[in-house]
Amino acid sequence: MPDITTLHNLYVNDSNGLLTTITAIYDRIEGKDFNPVWISIIPREKAIARVKQLSLITIEERVKLPLYGIPFAVKDNIDVATLPTTAGCPAFACGPVAENAPLVEKLEQAGAILIGKTNMDQFATGLVGTRSPYGACASVFNTNYISGGSSSGSAVAVASGLVTFSLGTDTAGSGRIPAMFNNIIGLKPTRGLLSARGVVPACRSLDCVSIFAETASDAAIILSVTRGFDEFDPYSRIPSDSSGASPWIIAPTFRIGIPTVVTREFFGDIHNPVLFQKAINVISHDLNGELIEFDLTPFLNVASLLYKGPWVAERYAAVGNFVDQHLTEIDPTVRTIITKAKDYTAVDTFNAIYELERLKKKTNKLWEMFDVMLVPTAPRAFTFDEIGAAPIEYNSQLGYYTNFVNLLDLAAIAIPAGIRPDGLPFSVTLISHAFTDTALLILGDRIHRSLATNIGGSSRSLADTPKLLSMDNCNMPSNCFLIAVVGAHLSGQPLNYQLTERKARLIRTCHTNQEYRLYALKDCVPAKPGLLHVKNSEGRGIELEIWAVSADKIASFIAMIPSPLSIGNIHLDDGQIVKGFLVEPSAVNDAQDITHFGGWRSYLNSTKASS
């Protein structure tokens, strides 16, 4: 299925394009055995009625509908009006539900067309995609291999071209593992960024709705439509102005943490380590990533709490009573995991919470070293026979790089990273702090285009799809502040630490336009210049640096600025206007005009040479 932009162009140029697209989807579904992908389908006639409704909207009005005519699917633990919600267990459904989950409502209001609800590991318990009475979905690359779960059908629906995007859920990695095994983007948003109301929970305090798409650009559009506070969802969150500040996304370099070789694990696979190293090399050499090796062990210790600790009891809180009353209708592995919750006490829970907080201190210390983490999405792929022989052991191995993410309140995106010699796909995952979702999508798009060629399981070229943002036109995230410095705050100068200790990042070196003069101020310790705007001046552009500072750090930085310096608008030689250091006009009366040096560094170098 084409990406959002391609479909929109088709609909503009072909008046029958929307009807043809939706009809072709239903023809494919009815003409081939796609049953393992779907649990329930929107009736064809209802979808066609939706097409006719959308077709009445003028081309000019369509710009208000960012998902106009875009087909999508949702995992069957997400409510859709008129369809049952089974969560992968037929007996769980109590007939058609009355209302859409808020996310489904938002997508339809944005013009999207729902095709159906997809298969899943029962009660979202598993990373394999085989624990369903509706059948097991396979990887679109090899039917002997699992699709990954629990959002199996949602990933396969996108990778096989049945829909443009889909919704899944992610507690332990269910929005990322299926993305790897089907060569698509899997965005695991920050917990609480998307409403989880109308979703059957697995672990309510950890769950989030995930997004599957062919490209990061499409995922970004879907995220922009679905994100937002839901006052009726207890875990919905409103990010602060500085939440997820990501100045590194527009800096010339970014610090990327990679696990040390001894803490990388592929469980005997020989191809994935090679592709992971290739990804590291490309990110370092082609994308200017600064590699920082770190010990993954504290993160692995966090991960072990998810299934070997009392968080399993939260699954029982969600569906335990139902499971107890319908034991014969529950997948044996799912039943074993959920009923294990009875082994834990309230004391165990508090002790685990204490241990998690202790481990957070260790992981937070590691995060000071890098901006974003890069890991394999999964260590290896498994065949159906292998999973059947050791369902819990191999499920645990799949979560090696995923299980810690939600416990630590991190955001993540799985990115296709090449095809193995045996034809199976490989994937890497970017992980960073809560609310860095947009920055991860931007970087993820660059990595995707550097490592992959085709989209999903198709022969369509990734290069033919729109880039999310390029390095040259990337807009500054709203939670950061650009500031220009001209003197003692420049790189290598005595006050530069005031920026770096606030984790500000150097963006670029540039010049003012010609209407500025630079003065060496008297009686300043350390020595400082003063930049003054002089209208119609015939000076030369003054060198300065642009730094990005997190919004929550800028006030404390500005508070340290002494008189006669201040912050004002500075006009650059390329026409851009930024905030930066200026001087009060009265302060230059007895100051030396050093404009002809073109910048503070040149002036300092000249004084050193003369001495």
Instruction: Please give the positions annotated as active site.
Output: 75, 150, 174
Residue with token string 């989880």: 196
DSSP conformation class of 294: E
Give dist(CA 570, CA 249) in Å, integer.
Answer: 23
Start-to-end Cα distance in the chain: 70
DSSP conformation class of 392: H
Q: What is the DSSP string of 213-249?
A: ESSHHHHHHHHHHHB---TTSTT-----TTTT--GGG
Residue 389 CB neighbours (<10 A): 11
Buried b (16+ CB within 10 A) or exposed e, 473-505: eeeebebbbbbbbbbbbbeebeebebbeebebb
Q: Is 386 exposed, middle or buried (0-12, 13-18, 19+ CB in 10 A)?
A: middle
Give dist(CA 292, CA 350) in Å, integer.
Answer: 34
Cα distances (angstroms) measured from residue 310 to each of 191, 334, 340, 392: 20, 16, 9, 17
Find out whether 270 and 276 touch, Cβ atoms under 8 Å: no
Give dist(CA 118, CA 527) in Å, integer.
Answer: 66
Find out whether 325 and 383 touch, Cβ atoms under 8 Å: no
Give dist(CA 546, CA 482) in Å, integer.
Answer: 7
Give dist(CA 151, CA 143) in Å, integer.
Answer: 17
The torsion angles phi and psi of 472, rounded to 5 degrees, stand at -80, -35
Nearest by Cα to 199 from 116, 111, 313, 104: 104
Let me know how many helices (H) and strands (E) the chain has, helices first.
19, 21
Q: What angle do CA 275, 278, 279 make, to 5 degrees?
A: 90
Phi-psi region of 265 (alpha: psi -120 to 50; beta: other; left: phi over 0): beta
Give dist(CA 100, CA 109) in Å, integer.
Answer: 11
Cβ neighbours of residue 516 closer than 8 Å, sequence gap 6 or more: 531, 532, 533, 534, 537, 539, 541, 542, 570, 571, 595
Give dist(CA 358, CA 241) in Å, integer.
Answer: 28
Nearest by Cα to 169 from 132, 194, 142, 140: 194
Long-range contacts formed by 418-421: CB under 8 A, 24+ apart: 418/275, 418/278, 418/279, 418/451, 418/452, 419/183, 420/271, 420/272, 420/275, 421/271
Positions of E strands within 83-162:
113-118, 138-139, 142-146
Residue 523 CB neighbours (<10 A): 6
Going 562 to 533 to 491 to 525, the CA torsion angle's sign is negative
